[in-house]
A and B are shown apart, each in its own frame.
Chain A
Amino acid sequence: MNCEVCQLKELKVEHFEIREVLRCILHTIVFHRALGLLRPKDVDLELFEITYVQCGDVELEKKIDEKIDHFVSWVEKHPNKKSQICLSFYEVKSKQPSWFANKTERLYWEQWYVNLNVIQHPKRHSSKSHHTKVVVDPRESANEERSSHRVMVEASLREVLFQIIKFVNEKKDHLPPISEGVIYFPYEITIPSSSDSAFGMDMIKRMLHSGHPTMLS
Chain B
Amino acid sequence: MEMDREPGKLEQIVSQFRSKILHVILESRVPSLHHQQQESLSLSRVRKTDKWFNLVLGDRPPALENLNFSLRNLLDPMVIDIILVRHGPCSSSVDNLYAPSAAAAGPSTETVIERWVVQYDCPRVFATPSGAEAAVSYKKIYKKCILLLRSLYSQMRLLPAYRIFRQLSLLSQTYNFDLIYKVSSFSHPFSREEEDGMKEYNFTPVEAPPGCLCVSVTYRTTLSDFNLEPLVSLPPKIITDYVGSPTTDPMRSFPSSERGAHAISFPSRGLRSPSSIPFQRPHSWSSGFHRGIPPTKTQSLAGSPPAYRTSCKPYDISSPPADLFGNRIQNHRVSTLQQATAYDEYKLSPPFSPSASPSTPTYLTGANPLLTRHCSETAPVTIPLPLTGRSTRYLSPNSSDPSRHSLPPLSPRSSKHDASSQESPSGIRSYRKIEALRAGESPSGLSNLYSAPKVVRDSKDDSGRFSGLLSSSGSPRIGFSRSSSRLSFQDDMDDCEFSCPFDVDDVDVSDSSSQNTESKKASEFTAQSNLVGKKSQDAAVGILVHLLRTAPPLRQDSSCYSTHSLKTEYDGGVGMASGFFLPRKTADALEELNSYREMKDLLLSKSGTQAVRKEGMK
- Chain A residues near B (Cβ < 8 Å): 28, 31-32, 34-40, 42, 49-53, 158, 161-162, 164-165, 168-170, 172, 175, 177-178
Measured between C-beta atoms, what is the minimum distance from B221 to chain A in Å? 12
Distance (Å) between the CB of A203 and the closest chain B CB?
Answer: 27
Residue among B51, B151, B154, B158 with most chain A CB within 10 A: B154
**Stretch from B121-129, B142-150, B607-615 contacting the other chain:** B142-150
A165 touches B154 (CB 8 A): yes
- In the assembled complex, which residues on chain B have CB atoms less than 8 Å from the CB atom of A38? 54-56
Q: Which of A35, A53, A158 contacts B153 (CB 8 A)?
A: A53
Chain A residues, CB < 8 A from B143: 35, 172, 175, 177-178
Q: Using known A-B contacts A38-B55, A162-B158, A177-B139, determine if residue A170 contacts B204 with beta carbons closer than 8 Å.
A: yes
* A168 adjacent to B157 (CB under 8 Å): no
Interface residues on chain B, number (Cβ under 8 Å): 26
Task: Name the CB-closest residue of B to A32.
Answer: B150
B35 on interface, CB distance cutoff 8 Å: no
Contacts of B41 in A (CB 8 A): 39
Tell me if B150 and A31 are in contact (CB < 8 A): yes
CA distance A53 to B56 in the complex (A): 13
CA distance A36 to B382 in the complex (A): 67
In the complex, the answer to whether B46 meets A32 with C-beta atoms within 8 Å is no
Contacts of B57 in A (CB 8 A): 40
Number of A-B residue pairs having CB atoms within 8 Å of each other in the complex: 70
| A168 and B54 contact, CB distance less than 8 A | no
Complex contacts, B50 vs chain A, CB 8 Å: 37
Q: Is B162 part of the contact surface with A, judged by Cβ < 8 Å?
A: yes
- Cβ-defined contact, B148 with A169, below 8 A: yes
A40 with B204: in contact, given A32-B147, A162-B158, A175-B143 (CB under 8 Å)? no
With a CB–CB cut-off of 8 A, which chain A residues contact B151?
A: 32, 165, 168-169
B54, A50: Cβ atoms under 8 Å?
A: no
Q: List 6 A-B contacts (CB under 8 A).
A: A31-B154, A32-B151, A35-B146, A51-B158, A170-B204, A177-B139
Contacts of B163 in A (CB 8 A): 49
CA distance A37 to B163 in the complex (A): 27
Q: Which residues of B contact A50 (CB under 8 A)?
A: 157-158
CB-CB under 8 A from B400, the residues of chain A are none
Contacts A35-B54, A38-B55, A39-B56 hold; do A158 and B147 have CB atoms under 8 A apart?
no
Main SS of chain A's interface residues?
mixed
Asked if B158 and A158 sit within 8 Å, CB to CB, the answer is yes
* Contact (Cβ within 8 A) B51 A53: no
B46 near A168 with CB under 8 A, answer no
Structural contact, A40 and B54, CB atoms closer than 8 A:
no
B203 at the A/B interface (Cβ < 8 Å)? yes
The reply to whether B54 and A52 contact each other, CB–CB distance below 8 Å, is: no
Are B56's CB and A172's CB within 8 A?
no
Nearest residue (CB) in A for B157 is A51
A67 CB → nearest B CB, Å: 21
Spell out B's residues near A (CB within 8 Å): 41, 46, 50-51, 54-57, 139, 143-144, 146-148, 150-151, 153-155, 157-158, 162-163, 166, 203-204
Assuming the A-B contacts A31-B154, A168-B147, A168-B151, are A37 and B203 also in contact, with contact meaning beta carbons closer than 8 angstroms in the complex? no
Chain B residues with CB under 8 Å of A28's CB are 154
The reply to whether B203 and A169 contact each other, CB–CB distance below 8 Å, is yes
Contact A32 B54 (CB under 8 A): no
Give Cα A6–Cα B46 distance, bound, in whole angstroms. Answer: 34
Report yes or no: B54 in contact with A37, Cβ–Cβ below 8 A.
yes
Is B157 a contact of A53 with CB atoms below 8 Å? yes
Known: A49-B163, A51-B162, A172-B204. A161 touches B148 (CB 8 A): no
Q: Which residue of A lies closest to B166 (CB)?
A: A51
Across the interface, do A42 and B157 meet the contact criterion of CB distance under 8 Å? yes
Question: Which residues of chain A are near B54, meaning CB under 8 Å?
Answer: 35-38
CA distance A158 to B159 in the complex (A): 10
Question: CA–CA, A168 to B154, complex, Å?
Answer: 11
Contacts of B56 in A (CB 8 A): 37-40
Most B C-beta atoms less than 10 A away, residue of A31, A38, A40, A50: A40
What separation, in Å, do the CA atoms of A175 and B147 have in the docked complex?
A: 10
Contact A165 B155 (CB under 8 A): yes
A68 to chain B, nearest CB (A): 20
Bound-complex Cα distance A37 to B51 (A): 7
- Contact call A37/B46, Cβ cutoff below 8 A: yes
Alpha-carbon separation in the docked complex, A170 to B203 (Å): 8
Given the complex, which residues of A lie within 8 Å of B150, measured CB to CB?
Answer: 31-32, 34-35, 168
Contacts of A161 in B (CB 8 A): 154, 158
Known contacts A39-B41, A172-B204, A52 near B157 by CB under 8 Å: yes
Query: Taking the nearest CB of chain B, how far is it from the CB of A42, in angstroms?
Result: 7
The distance in angstroms between the C-alpha atoms of A51 and B162, with both chains bound, is 9
Q: Which of A36, A42, A50 has the most CB of B within 10 A?
A: A42
How distant is A122 from chain B, measured CB to nearest CB, in Å?
29
B154: A residues at CB distance < 8 A: 28, 31-32, 52-53, 161, 164-165
Given the complex of chains A and B, what is the CA–CA distance between A169 and B163 in angstroms? Answer: 24
- Taking a contact as CB atoms under 8 Å apart, the answer to whether B204 and A169 are in contact is yes
On chain B, the residues within 8 Å of A35 by CB distance are 54, 143, 146-147, 150
> Given the complex of chains A and B, what is the CA–CA distance between A175 and B151 in angstroms?
15
A170 to B204, CA, bound (A): 6
In the complex, which residues of chain B have a beta carbon less than 8 angstroms from the beta carbon of A49? 163
Not counting A162-B155, A165-B154, A168-B150, a sample of 18 additional A-B residue pairs whose C-beta atoms are within 8 angstroms of each other reads: A31-B150, A32-B151, A35-B143, A37-B51, A37-B54, A39-B41, A42-B157, A50-B158, A51-B162, A53-B154, A158-B158, A164-B154, A165-B151, A165-B155, A165-B158, A168-B151, A172-B144, A175-B147
Which residues of A lie under 8 Å from residue B55 when comparing CB positions? 38, 40
With the chains together, A21 CA to B151 CA distance in Å? 19
Q: Which residues from chain A contact B148 at a C-beta distance below 8 Å?
A: 169
User: Of all chain B residues, which has the CB nearest A176?
Assistant: B143
Give Cα distance in the complex from A158 to B153, angstroms: 15
| Residues in B whose Cβ lies below 8 Å from that of A165 | 151, 154-155, 158
Q: Which residue of B lies closest to A37 (CB)?
A: B54
A44, closest chain B residue (CB): B166
C-alpha gap A168/B158 in the complex (Å): 15
Question: Which of chain B's residues has its CB closest to A28's CB?
Answer: B154
**Taking A161-B158, A172-B204 as contacts, is the C-beta distance between A40 and B153 under 8 angstroms?**
yes
Q: Chain A residues near B146 (CB, 8 Å)?
A: 35, 178
Instruction: Give the docked Cα–Cα distance between A35 and B140 (Å).
Output: 12
Q: Give the most central of B50, B150, B163: most A CB within 10 Å.
A: B150
B204 neighbours in A (Cβ, 8 Å): 169-170, 172
Complex Cα gap A39–B54 (Å): 8
Residues in A neighbouring B144, C-beta threshold 8 A = 172
What chain A residues lie within 8 Å of B157 (beta carbons)? 42, 50-53
From residue B28, how far is it (CB to closest CB) to chain A in Å?
A: 9
Contacts of A36 in B (CB 8 A): 54
CA A162 to CA B56, docked complex, whole Å: 23
A37 to B45, CA, bound (A): 12
Give the 9 A-B residue pairs with the shortest CB-CB distance, closest first: A39-B56, A169-B204, A51-B157, A37-B54, A165-B151, A32-B150, A168-B151, A35-B146, A172-B144
The distance in angstroms between the C-alpha atoms of A42 and B534, with both chains bound, is 79
